[in-house]
Amino acid sequence: MDFQLTEEQIAVRDAARDFAQNVLKPGVIERDTHMKFPHEEIKQLGELGFLGMMVDPKYGGSGMDTVSYVLAMEEISKVDASTSVVMSVNNSLVCWGLEKFGTEEQKQKYLKPLASGEIIGAFCLSEPEAGSDATSQRTTAIDKGDHYLLNGTKNWITNGGNASVYLVMAQTDAEKGHRGINCLIVEKGMDGFVVGAKEDKLGIRASDTHTLLFNDVKVPKENRIGEDGFGFKFAMKTLSGGRIGIAAQALGIASGAYELSLAYSKERKAFGKEISKHQAIAFKLADMATEIEAARLLCLKAATQKDNGENFDQSSAMAKVFASETAMKTTVEAVQIHGGYGYVKEYHVERLMRDAKITQIYEGTSEVQRIVISRNVLKD
């Protein structure tokens, strides 16, 4: 596989880097401390074309490839993983699914404003009793002829409070198991739809995560994505692509922590020399650099397979599990390299360590990625 970047891909990466360093960095500590959603920053990301990166320009997107998306996600996540998760959910869980499986009417009505960044979306699969075990959906969508009657609770929903459009998985025919699940497009403001409590989290604190409650919400039939019973497959296919975004987020968190550690280790002196000249520190940097490079190649491989129209279920799971574990390990070591300074907010690495943890949990835990990978490697 050729990972030589094109001029266009380099330009996208550089634009994302400039935005992260100049726009996101100045307020990142304050937004994290006070759980302040990055409203203005997300608006600017939309103007840059980063909220519908892979969507066809005729639907308001930027028409870029998945490799460019990975490069942009890495740069944004080096600085602000709260902002990058908003970007990841909107691009790969909401816009991608709508463009790939939505009707022309759904694309005109919902995809256009989502891809141009006018509004943002949310993807609602998880429930209090159905996280990893995603086929056990309790939320119901009863077929009432021209509409579905939606009842139930979703939790942990990223963009829950700030989204305008929600893709909601719900069980229509329990006898059919996962083949009876549908995905419905729900609009904020529909009668009976309530945005519940906002979570107070360890990391990605500026991103909003909410419980959502549906009480006899009437959702028109034309808001169903795909054929009757396609909802679970829709969720799985969409998540395969989403995992590339989260892998790139984890890669960015790791490389952000590494870059800060490299610079700090050349400045900080102990026992008469820079700490980078102590082999214990130099070897940590060597391990970080090696694992980050491997994570980057896995992300680029998954993205390239997706761009080439090949199956990427296994490679996206591999990229996510490896990059997220690299992010956790690298950020813990980054705090160690910074010593006491690493433990305070001003030096950024403690936030990156807190942010890294979620990449091992959402869009399928590390254990779920190993289920996906092991089923693939064992099936032949």
Q: Write the single-letter amino acid at 133.
A: D
- Token match 């490679």: residue? 315
Q: Considering only residues 178, 277, 278, 329, which one is a binding residue for ligand CAA as defined by CB under 6 A? A: 178
Q: Are 241 and 248 in contact (CB under 8 A)?
A: no
d(CA 102, CA 113): 14
Q: Per CB under 6 A, does 201 bind ligand FAD?
A: yes
> 94: exposed, middle or buried (C-beta count within 10 Å: 0-12, 13-18, 19+)?
buried
Among residues 41, 74, 291, 363, the one annotated as catalytic is 363
CA distance 204 to 200: 10
Report the residue closest to ligand CAA, judged by CB.
362
CB 327 within 8 A of CB 251: yes
Residue 36, binding choice from ligand FAD, ligand CAA, none, Cβ under 5 to 8 Å by partner class: none
For 203, which DSSP code? S
The residue (of 190 and 361) whose beta carbon lies closer to ligand FAD is 361
The entry of ligand FAD, ligand CAA, none near residue 236 (CB within 5 to 8 angstroms by kind) is ligand CAA
333 carries an active-site annotation: no
**Contact status: 33 vs ligand CAA (CB under 6 A):** no
Using CB under 6 A, which residues numbered 339 to 358 contact ligand FAD? Answer: 358
Calculate ∠ Cα 14-15-19, nearest 5°: 115
Residue 18 or 129 with smaller CB distance to ligand FAD: 129
Name the strand (E) or helix (H) holding 354: helix 349-358
**Contact between 156 and ligand FAD per CB under 6 A:** yes
Q: Tokens 């500026």 sit at which residue?
A: 206
Q: Which of the listed partners (ligand CAA, ligand FAD, none) does 157 bind, with a CB threshold of 5 to 8 Å by partner kind?
A: ligand FAD
Residues 223-262 interacting with ligand CAA (rule: CB under 6 A): 232-233, 236-237, 239-240
Q: What is the DSSP track for 165-197?
A: EEEEEEES-GGGGGGGEEEEEEETT-TTEEEEE
Largest CA distance in the chain: 78
Q: Say what angle helices 313-338 and 349-358 make with each other, to 10 degrees.
A: 150
**Contact string (CB under 6 A) for ligand CAA, positions 65-84, x = contact:** --------------------
From 98, 252, 362, 372, residue interacting with ligand FAD (rule: CB under 6 A): 362
Count of residues in the chain: 380
132 binds ligand CAA (CB under 6 A): yes
- Give me the residues that bind ligand CAA (CB under 6 A), please: 85, 89, 123, 125-126, 132, 134-135, 158, 178-179, 232-233, 236-237, 239-240, 313, 362-364, 368, 371-372
- Active site amino acids: 363
- Give me the residues that bind ligand FAD (CB under 6 A), please: 89, 122-126, 131-133, 156-158, 201, 204, 209, 358, 361-365, 367-368
